[in-house]
Structure 1
Amino acid sequence: MSQPTSPIFGRLDWTVTPYTDLLHEVTSSTIVGAGAATVLVLGTLGAVALITRMGGWGPLFRDWLTSADAKKIGIMYIVLALVMMARGIVEGFVMRAHQATALGTLSAPESGLVAPDHFAQLFSTHGTIMIFFVAMPLLIGLINFVLPQQLGARDMAFPVLNQVSLGLTAAGAALVMVSLLIGKFGTGGWTMYPPYTGIAYSPGEGVDYWLWAIAISGVGSTLTGMNFAVTIFKKRAPGMHFMRMPLFCWTSLCVAIMLIYAMPALTVSSAMLMLDRYAGFHFFTNGAGGNMMNYANIFWMFGHPEVYILILPAFGVFSEISSTFSGKKLYGYTSLVIASMSIAVVSFTVWLHHFFTMGQSAGVNIAFGIATMIIGVPTGVKIYDWMATMWRGQVRITTPIVYLIGFFMLFVIGGLSGIILANPSIDYQVHNSTFLVAHFHNVIIPGVLYGMLAGIHYWFPKAFGFRLCETWGRRTACLFVGGFLLTFMPLYVLGLMGMPRRSSTFQNPDFLPLMYVAGMGAVLMLCALVSLGWTFWSSWRRRAELAVPGGDPWNGGTLEWSSPAPVPAWNFPRIPDVSARDDWSAAKRGGDPWKGPDDYADIEMPANTRFGVVLAAAAFALGFAMVWHVWWMGIAALLAIVAAVMWRGMIVVEPEIVPAAALERADRQFREWVATTPPASRADEETPRNRGVPDITEFAG
């Protein structure tokens, strides 16, 4: 049945807020829904008030939102991801709290903290947020910040396209956040399988929120992949051939290629479902000549490469930190490169293992099961190489190394459970159980979240000029590791006991003790989130003590550590000539790494532009209008997008020029400061003696 629409407001009316549900019936579920909406409103108003009080709107717009600098864009990606992660972790906590109180009876089967429909919204938004709006922005942000510096470049190949990609991702995230306050989100999980998500079974706005958020952000991710690939192919410093690139650049290249080939599958599947819902195309309606299995195949042709799109940048981070914090060269560089490329290729051949249970022949299942087992081989090679790098090294137990150790312990368990699930006959038994939930989180949290947080701690000084507090950093890492163990290890056992996934209630009292354990783990994960926030706050308060203006607080080996901290907009006073792998280490061994260039020249930098901001606002308006059938707004937003693109294509944009004199003055001042600053040994890394100037007599990388 179609909902009544207004020519002005579409399907919008006063009943679409969670406060209406609360006024209609006061339950724990409606209180949670209204409370979440209130937090969103108060948080937004608080942020607006704080920025206004600090007079920050001008600098925010001029220096950040309109910037085409890859470093600033990367930082904004990461800030977006951390904001969304806060919601995602809180939703995970609510789900665990619900299931710990969800033991029902035959006479009263529905119990727990939230209603069944609300629980379905929670696991749908949680998965969507953590995959598309936490993990993706984290890795894209980190690559944006690090990649040009490691390549010896000044910026990305397409700076404005980079800004547009960020704007589209932010627009998609905003649509998901708005669903807290206006309307409801879909209940079909993060994959939104039809026919349940077709218009016949889900006529409301929930699925449309998912479709437009994913479609808009997916376009941004595709453009990002193109940008990364061209940057790596065309912007490397002279002398940096492929086998001299740092491992993080190699994994970024793999991610770029995978984004280009995988993201269109997501765009196609979501576009086809849109046409089903808006125009009655019936691509996935079995009774009208369609086939829902087409959706499953197309979606997972994106979905499994997506897992390695998320994990490979973390693997690049682990390659960097295992070498730096062991004081050794990276072991098995060539094998790590081959393993990364192998993972990227094989990841496109295993998508069907996500639906072994959906009717393929035994031969097809066996073929994909074998491919799934094979992909574990290059991953194992990487782990052995990192362990060999640390073997007999001078390992410092910094926060990134704590995350790496947690990864070693937990990711191997997740990988082994994945090998178990690669057997179709076993997968038939546990596919629809919490065993699968445990496996997926056992791969993504240690393999992605730990890697990204390790990378943030590692490169944070380059962005802001001071280190993060190691004491609180290690506490946060330990809380994330302990919280994960308590939250998800019980789910393996519950799955083997028969607990179905996505179930809002259960009647077996034997499940309850393990549900309590998982609930306690969720409390620890929530504490880890708070601890992470406190790490940033306490470090900012101590920023003078933790300052590292020398720019090399860890005695690193790659090019990004040769510049001051925070790194200037131009990255390098002159594009470096690379003569070795880990060229900064080679310069240290040469004895005079901070020798400046003999001459300086003017530098062209990309000018600020409002193009990305305009496209982001128009894309959000288009998505919101289409969700609520406000057709005039949708047409206006679409016209605004077309007009903005045409306007940008017709104008001539002059680059910003950094004069050679200003460049020379800043560079000589930095090098004179380095020459008069006492170097810090590795033993002094966590003390105020560490000003970012390392003792180069110690073996560097």
Structure 2
Amino acid sequence: MSEQRAALIEQTISTAEEAERARNLERIWAEPKGFIGWFKAVHHTTIGKRYMVTAFAFFLAGGLLAGAMRLQLAFPESHLMSPDLYNQIFTMHGSIMMFLFAVPMMFEALAVYFVPLMVGTRNIAFPRLNAFSYYLFLFGGLMLFAFFFVNSGPDRGWFAYVPLSGPDYGAGKRADIWAQLITFTEVSALAVAVEVIVTVFKLRAPGMSLNRIPIFVWGQVVVAFMVIFAMPGVVVSSTMLLLDRTASTQFFNPAVGGDVLLFQHLFWWFGHPEVYIIFLPGTAIVSTIVATFSRRHVFGYMALVLSLIATGFVAFGLWVHHMFATGIPQMSEAFFTAASMMIAIPAGAQIFCWLATIVTGKPVLKTPMWWVLGFFFVFIIGGMTGIFVASVPVDLQVHDTYFVVAHFHYVLIGGAVFPLFGAFAYWFPKITGRMLSERIGMWSFWLFTIGFNITFFPMHILGLRGMPRRVYTYPADAGWTVLNQIQSCGYLLLFAGVSLFLWNVWTSLRRGEAAPPNPWQAGGLEWATDSPPRAYNFLNLPTVNGSEALWDALPDQPVISGLHEDVREIVTTRIHDAEPDGRDELPEPSIWPFIAAVVTTALFIGSIFRPIAVSIGAIPLAIALIGWFWPTREESERRRRRDIWQKS
């Protein structure tokens, strides 16, 4: 009896100590309160949610613009909108979906929110840079819409080919606005790429060696490296275009030695890897959901990781297949045809690993799994048509027709949006602490899937019948009317599916069922925390014993102790085996990243009208950066006490 009483007293003391630690950590890691505090926030869950909400809002705006195009094309010789407005709308639609939704949502939002949780740390590396990247993304999108509403939206397509977007043919500031949108979004993505790489390779939980990193995290690491190598190409090309238009340079003027194809090479050096920057997080989501709902470790972990890496490498050898109609040498055509077909190999390997996981497991069909099954169906169709357009003779026939539009949407919506909605259903309990309705979720899935196929599959036939893309109307005797009307009806089903999803989110947030700690019985480390996570993520920083941390945990799995809990301190680990390597202190919330983003925005927008704005804007930007990095008195004293500045 005395032993039981002693054990009870010991447990009570331990619980009280943990409660005190939790209160202390909550105070240290909590985000600032109030209106000004909103602009100071730097925690990865806060910034990640902002990325998600903002990117999804842009997705809805881009979808409404797509509906306007469908309405215009539902009838031949329609005069619902002028050619100029239609050009702005389809350019806005493409630019929003590619630069303001797909990459920010699939990479930045999901990586910022989930990677630190999945690797077992309390925040992302460089949290102030993380906040800066979000504000830059937000301001770039707001700039695009502000100019669109004053009839100055970009109107040269989401790729802005020269010479049509050059100074001779692109009057006004529309192409300049597109060029600076690129700068906003790509600088934001590059910042997040650096954060993700450092977080994964230096802040992983002890024991999470390279062969134990979750597949989702591997996917985001590969994408981060792709962003670093690909996006400077489009930043350079858009900057050269802006300089041609505002500073009278001649980069793309063949009359004085420039080259219009240089723009295409630089753009598609980024443009085709971007398809995989969008697609690879989707495959990583699929691997995560398939393992959870098959109730087993994913089949072929190493094959899946190597497929992600191989896709990332090969993606940089495909860009010229967008340029088969430009008259490049036949040897180049042969090489890029082979590369375009070769990239199907790692994609096929992933599909077979997923199917093997499902077949050898005990699959449970919940809403996230249904979205994965929809992904299989839609993406395989997109991949097969991709093999077609990789062939030079076929590509020359269907180039710039609706066949390419169909292929593009089957790949990107199938490879990204279907997994994304699966991810929303899967991680909604983690983010909000509430469960989505299964019944409404299933209705949303089927309406979206049927509507998608009705909308985009007929485009294959339209393309083979010769309907060119980017036309605002067509003659009544062209034979395209019925298929266009079918597509417009399909859009209504798509719209209904997304609307039901939004209704599901709204009602679940207000009165949804409270989510248990791990509603899917998943193995990922993100489910070891509260839902939604506390400000400090983990009360006790974890250690890891396998690729599915919860499934592989030992009965007495150790945790990390000894960190200072009066500051934002984290553990750093070694790159290969994640052995403890030291400790580091993350910076506190600050308003300086927001101020730096405002100044940078003014600099970018000013450069559209006067190049000297770059020089003038550099002065306040330098002041903002000094404020950003200048330590507070408390930080300086703390560093002195801990001998951080002491000479060895």
TM-score (norm 2): 0.87
| Change over 3 Å in CA distance of 1:521–1:654 after alignment to 2 | farther
Q: Report the counterpart of residue 456 of structure 2 in structure 1.
A: 488
Q: Paired residue for 1:388, among 347, 356, 370?
A: 356
CA contact (8 A) 1:607 1:654 kept: no
Q: Distance in 2 between matches of 1:539 and 1:157?
A: 32
Q: Distance in 1 between matches of 2:329 and 2:457?
A: 32
User: Do residues 153 (structure 1) and 121 (structure 2) align?
Assistant: yes
Q: Distance in 1 between matches of 2:561 and 2:122?
A: 19
Q: Report the counterpart of residue 535 of structure 1 in structure 2.
A: 504
| Change over 3 Å in CA distance of 1:186–1:653 after alignment to 2 | farther
User: Do residues 118 (structure 1) and 85 (structure 2) align?
Assistant: yes
Q: Report the counterpart of residue 521 of structure 1 in structure 2.
A: 490
RMSD between superposed Cα atoms in Å: 2.2
User: Do residues 262 (structure 1) and 230 (structure 2) align?
Assistant: yes
| Change over 3 Å in CA distance of 1:641–1:575 after alignment to 2 | same
Q: Report the counterpart of residue 465 of structure 2 in structure 1.
A: 497
Q: Report the counterpart of residue 349 of structure 1 in structure 2.
A: 317
CA contact (8 A) 2:212 2:547 kept: yes
Q: Paired residue for 2:154, among 173, 186, 198?
A: 186
Structure 1, unaligned stretches of length 5 or more? 1-56, 105-110, 657-701
Q: Report the counterpart of residue 95 of structure 2 in structure 1.
A: 128
Q: Residue 604 of structure 1: CA displacement?
A: 3.3
Q: Residue 168 of structure 1: CA displacement?
A: 1.2
SS for the counterpart of 2:567 is strand
1:493-517 Cα distance to aligned partner (Å, 9 max, x none) = 0000000011112124411110001
Q: Report the counterpart of residue 630 of structure 2 in structure 1.
A: 650
SS for the counterpart of 1:580 is coil
1:427-483 Cα distance to aligned partner (Å, 9 max, x none) = 000011000000000000011111222212211222221122222222222222112
1:557-576, aligned counterparts within 5 Å? 557-576=523-542
CA contact (8 A) 1:216 1:619 kept: no
1:65-100 Cα distance to aligned partner (Å, 9 max, x none) = 321111111111001111101110001111111111
Q: Paired residue for 2:438, among 447, 454, 470?
A: 470
1:647-668 Cα distance to aligned partner (Å, 9 max, x none) = 2233348679xxxxxxxxxxxx
Q: Report the counterpart of residue 418 of structure 2 in structure 1.
A: 450
What code does the residue aligned with 2:529 have? S
Q: Distance in 2 between matches of 1:469 and 1:309?
A: 31
Q: Paired residue for 2:548, among 577, 582, 587?
A: 582
Q: Distance in 2 between matches of 1:598 and 1:227?
A: 25
| Change over 3 Å in CA distance of 1:177–1:638 after alignment to 2 | farther
Q: Distance in 2 between matches of 1:321 and 1:389?
A: 11
What code does the residue aligned with 2:91 have? S
Q: Distance in 2 between matches of 1:525 and 1:75?
A: 25
Q: Distance in 2 between matches of 1:620 and 1:436?
A: 35
**Greater displacement, 632-641 / 435-444:** 632-641
CA contact (8 A) 1:82 1:134 kept: yes
CA contact (8 A) 1:551 1:566 kept: no
Q: Paired residue for 2:49, among 61, 68, 75?
A: 75
CA contact (8 A) 1:463 1:566 kept: yes
Q: Residue 601 of structure 1: CA displacement?
A: 5.2
- Number of matched pairs: 587
Q: Distance in 2 between matches of 1:472 and 1:614?
A: 42
Structure 2, unaligned stretches of length 5 or more? 1-30, 569-586, 637-648
Q: Paired residue for 1:625, among 606, 626, 648?
A: 606
SS for the counterpart of 2:550 is helix
1:347-373 Cα distance to aligned partner (Å, 9 max, x none) = 001100011110101111010010000
| Change over 3 Å in CA distance of 1:577–1:285 after alignment to 2 | same
| Change over 3 Å in CA distance of 1:653–1:67 after alignment to 2 | farther
Q: Residue 61 of structure 1: CA displacement?
A: 3.9
User: Do residues 358 (structure 1) and 326 (structure 2) align?
Assistant: yes
What code does the residue aligned with 2:228 have? I
Q: Report the counterpart of residue 66 of structure 2 in structure 1.
A: 92
Q: Residue 596 of structure 1: CA displacement?
A: 7.7
1:609-688, aligned counterparts within 5 Å? 609-627=590-608, 629=609, 637-652=617-632
1:196-236 Cα distance to aligned partner (Å, 9 max, x none) = 00111112121111111111221111121111111111111
Q: Distance in 2 between matches of 1:254 and 1:392?
A: 28
CA contact (8 A) 2:136 2:185 kept: yes
SS for the counterpart of 1:412 is helix
Q: Residue 411 of structure 1: CA displacement?
A: 0.3
CA contact (8 A) 2:247 2:611 kept: no
| Change over 3 Å in CA distance of 1:346–1:464 after alignment to 2 | same
Higher-RCO chain (CA-CA 8 Å, sequence separation at least 6): 2
Q: Report the counterpart of residue 386 of structure 2 in structure 1.
A: 418
SS for the counterpart of 1:282 is coil
What code does the residue aligned with 2:428 have? F
Q: Residue 392 of structure 1: CA displacement?
A: 4.6
Q: Distance in 2 between matches of 1:390 and 1:79?
A: 32
Q: Residue 637 of structure 1: CA displacement?
A: 4.5
CA contact (8 A) 2:145 2:153 kept: no
| Change over 3 Å in CA distance of 1:130–1:654 after alignment to 2 | farther
| Change over 3 Å in CA distance of 1:263–1:655 after alignment to 2 | farther
Q: Residue 182 of structure 1: CA displacement?
A: 2.5
1:394-446 Cα distance to aligned partner (Å, 9 max, x none) = 32222211211111111000000000111011100001100000000000001
Q: Distance in 2 between matches of 1:510 and 1:138?
A: 38
What code does the residue aligned with 1:126 have? H
Q: Report the counterpart of residue 274 of structure 1 in structure 2.
A: 242
Q: Report the counterpart of residue 510 of structure 1 in structure 2.
A: 479
Q: Distance in 2 between matches of 1:70 and 1:655?
A: 21
Indicate the percent of aligned positions where both proteins have the same amino acid. Answer: 34
CA contact (8 A) 1:417 1:439 kept: yes
1:26-45, aligned counterparts within 5 Å? none
User: Do residues 337 (structure 1) and 305 (structure 2) align?
Assistant: yes
Q: Distance in 2 between matches of 1:446 and 1:317?
A: 13
SS for the counterpart of 2:551 is helix
| Change over 3 Å in CA distance of 1:385–1:603 after alignment to 2 | farther
What code does the residue aligned with 1:87 have? A
Q: Distance in 1 between matches of 2:633 and 2:61?
A: 39
What code does the residue aligned with 1:617 have? V
| Change over 3 Å in CA distance of 1:433–1:631 after alignment to 2 | closer
Q: Distance in 1 between matches of 2:160 and 2:611?
A: 24
Q: Distance in 2 between matches of 1:270 and 1:500?
A: 26
What code does the residue aligned with 1:651 have? P
CA contact (8 A) 1:621 1:634 kept: no
| Change over 3 Å in CA distance of 1:282–1:601 after alignment to 2 | closer
CA contact (8 A) 2:432 2:509 kept: no
What code does the residue aligned with 1:164 have? F
SS for the counterpart of 1:578 is coil
Q: Report the counterpart of residue 11 of structure 2 in structure 1.
A: none
CA contact (8 A) 1:339 1:379 kept: yes
| Change over 3 Å in CA distance of 1:615–1:482 after alignment to 2 | farther
What code does the residue aligned with 1:198 have? G
CA contact (8 A) 2:400 2:469 kept: yes
Q: Report the counterpart of residue 567 of structure 2 in structure 1.
A: 604
CA contact (8 A) 1:174 1:620 kept: no
TM-score (norm 1): 0.80
